[in-house]
Amino acid sequence: MTADRAALVDARAPEHLGAAARLPAVPRVSVVIPARNEARNLEALLPSLPPGLFEVVLVDGASDDETVAVARRLRPDVRVVNQTRTGKGNALTCGFAACRGDVIVMLDADGSADPAEIARFVEALVAGADFAKGSRGLDGGGSDDITLLRSAGNRFLGFVVNVLCGSDYTDLCYGYNAFWAASCLPVLDLDWETPAEPGGGRCPWGDGFEIETLIHLRVAEAGLSVVEVPSHELSRVHGVSNLNAPRDGLRVLWTILVEVRRGRHLRKRETPRDAAVAESGARLPVSTIVG
Cross-strand bridge partners of residue 232: 142
pLDDT in tens, the chain (291 residues): 333 333 333 333 333 333 333 445 579 999 999 999 999 999 999 999 999 999 999 999 999 999 999 999 999 999 999 999 988 999 999 999 999 999 999 999 999 999 999 999 999 999 999 999 999 889 988 888 777 777 787 788 878 888 887 788 898 888 899 999 999 999 998 887 776 665 555 455 568 778 888 999 899 888 999 999 999 999 877 756 665 556 766 777 778 888 877 765 455 555 444 444 344 433 333 333 343
Alpha-carbon gap, residue 32 to 95, rounded angstroms: 6
Residue pair 157/172 in contact by the 8 Å Cβ criterion: yes
User: Where do the structural domains in the chain lie, given as residue ranges?
Assistant: 24-289
For domain 24-289, which architecture applies? Alpha-Beta Complex (3.90)
Residue pair 4/100 in contact by the 8 Å Cβ criterion: no
pTM above 0.75, yes or no: yes
| Beta-carbon count within 10 A of 168 CB | 16
Residue pair 287/219 in contact by the 8 Å Cβ criterion: no
